Amino acid sequence: MDLKSNHTAPVVADSAPISKSRLGVPSSLLPYSSSGAFSPNLFLTVPRKKNGILDDIRASSLDAMKSSSPPHKKTRDFNNDLVAADTDVAYRTWMVKYPSALTSFEQITNFAKGKRIALFLDYDGTLSPIVDNPDSAFMSNDMRAAVKKVAKCFPTAIISGRSRDKVYEFVGLTDLYYAGSHGMDIMGPVTQFSDDHSNCIRSTDKQGKEVNLFQPAGEFLPMIDEVFNLLVNNTKEIQGAKVENNKFCVSVHYRNVDEKNWTTVAQCVNKVIRSYPRLRLTHGRKVLEVRPVINWDKGKAVTFLLESLGLSNCDNVLPIYVGDDRTDEDAFKVLREGNCGYGILVSSVPKESNAFFSLRDPQEVMEFLKSLVIWKKTTSAL
Ligand SMILES: [Mg+2]
């Protein structure tokens, strides 16, 4: 993979003719060049022109805040049968391009035959429902059981925007790999690959097992803490605003802020980061996120983990990434461009994506995970 390339447009619009990829699914984005070997150069900075002030301003505009925040609950419009029918038609039309991973399950497993599946899961909105209070984004016991079973069958990693400790607290399972702060804080296995890698430090996990910590943005920790404190202070008068320190990024949640005050939230955040040219602003679902300007994202975290786990050979490995957010698009894009794995977008509304398939909500994600376990057990028994 070329770490020098800029992934500044995670959501793409494409209308090229449908073609078949080696993954056996229609793809209008091919051909793509295959990604090369993982580069150890982790400190390439993203040019400010692409991810700097201009993006920050654009990202924090009210329109961007609205467009990045599709409703997660049914609105009153849905009570209107006509609107509901139109919405359903729009979703079904969208699913032609992004078929359900459940109805396409056979196609996925056919391609997985003879390969090892490596599973990557986002947390919020994928394993847990999006809730008003981000501290209450608990996953259900049923989901936890499903993740536990699937992780026994396939190498599984959780890649979240949350801090690694926080997402571990939510998931509470061992035998998984955890990447917090959008992949900027990875706890992975001790291997030669990670030993040779700069920014890897040997540590122990909560069970006392030896692990490697990979933190490409380590030098930003004091700056992130400083910005967190400033944002807490500057937004304390905005009712409903919540600032979360995710170790290598700071999240400003505006889910509970009255829409008429969203501009104030954006202005507050912009005012703070204006003094920090090495930080940039990105959008999640009703959240503004302040991150270091480094050439690192969830897509690079996937590549790093695959390399660390010795699973980077596309000929015998099938990575599957399930996520719901803009930040997951970086991972979808890596799999699509490498032509070696499947991105699955979790969404109940149509939106453009680099994913190949879709699932409507965490409930369907759970069904998909359960299906993978059954398939694995069935095929292993043959
Ligand atoms: Mg998410």
Same structural domain, 340 and 300: yes
Same domain, 259 and 324: no
Tell which residue, 214, 118, 135, 198, has the closest CA to residue 169: 135
Look at residue 205 in the predicted model and tell me its pLDDT. 82
Expressed in angstroms and rounded, the spacing between residue 328 Cα and the centre of ligand 1 is: 7
| Domain shared by 300 and 377, yes or no | yes
Q: Are residues 283 and 343 in the same domain?
A: no
End residue of a domain, out of 248, 276, 292: 292
Domain boundary among 292, 307, 322: 292
Residue that the structure tokens 């209450």 belong to: 136
Q: How far away, in angstroms, is 161 Cα from ligand 1 center?
A: 8
* Encoded tokens for 127: 């394993």
| Residue 160 domain boundaries | 116-181+296-381
Report the distance separating Cα 108 and Cα 99, nearest Å.
11
Calculate how far, in angstroms, residue 124's C-alpha sits from the geometric centre of ligand 1.
4
Indicate whether 358 belongs to any domain: yes
Domain shared by 352 and 318, yes or no: yes
Q: How many other C-beta atoms can be found within 10 angstroms of the C-beta atom of residue 264? A: 16
Print pLDDT tens along the chain (382 aa).
333 333 332 222 233 333 445 454 444 333 223 333 333 344 433 333 344 333 443 444 566 676 655 555 445 555 667 777 778 889 999 999 999 999 999 999 999 999 999 999 999 999 999 888 888 999 999 999 999 999 999 999 999 999 999 999 999 998 899 999 999 999 987 776 666 677 778 888 878 888 888 998 999 999 999 999 999 999 999 999 999 999 999 999 999 999 999 999 999 999 999 999 999 998 888 899 999 999 999 999 999 999 989 998 888 999 999 999 999 999 999 999 998 899 999 999 999 999 999 999 999 999 999 999 999 999 887 6
Task: Tell me, yes or no, whether 109 lies in a domain.
Answer: no
Query: Distance, CA 172 to ligand 1 centroid (Å)?
Result: 18
Whether residue 40 lies inside any domain: the answer is no
Could you give the CA distance from residue 13 to residue 354 in angstroms, rounded to a whole number? 9
Answer for the pair 269, 288: CB distance below 8 angstroms, yes or no. Answer: yes
Ligand 1 centre and the CA of 39: distance in Å?
Answer: 27
In a domain, 67, yes or no: no
The CATH number for 158's domain is: 3.40.50.1000
Residue corresponding to tokens 């030669």 = 192
Q: State in Å: Cα 190 to ligand 1 middle.
A: 27
In a domain, 8, yes or no: no
Last residue of a domain, one of 292, 321, 352: 292
198 CA to centre of ligand 1 in angstroms:
28
User: Distance, CA 136 to ligand 1 centroid (Å)?
Assistant: 14
CA of 195 to the centre of ligand 1 (A): 30
> What DSSP string describes 259-285?
GGGHHHHHHHHHHHHTT-TTEEEEEET
Residue 123 lies in a domain: yes
Q: 309 and 172, same structural domain?
A: yes
- Ligand 1 centre to CA of 123 (Å) is 5
**Distance between Cα 96 and ligand 1 center (Å):** 23
Give this prediction's pTM. Answer: 0.78
C-alpha of residue 325 to centroid of ligand 1, in Å: 5
Q: What is the dihedral of CA 234, 239, 244, 245, to 10 degrees?
A: 20
Answer whether residue 3 is part of any domain. no
Residue 340 lies in a domain: yes
What pLDDT is recorded for position 61?
57
226, 280: one domain: yes
Q: Are residues 162 and 311 located together in one domain of the fold?
A: yes
- Shared domain for 324 and 265, answered yes or no, is no
Please tell me whether residues 306 and 271 are part of one structural domain: no
- What is the domain-level CATH number for residue 281? 3.30.70.1020
What does the pLDDT read at residue 23? 52
What's the Rg (C-alpha) of the chain? Answer: 20
Q: How far is the CA of 130 from the centre of ligand 1 (A)?
A: 8
| Distance of CA 46 from the midpoint of ligand 1 (Å) | 23
Expressed in angstroms and rounded, the spacing between residue 377 Cα and the centre of ligand 1 is 29
Q: How many domains does the chain have?
A: 2
Residue 317 DSSP label: E
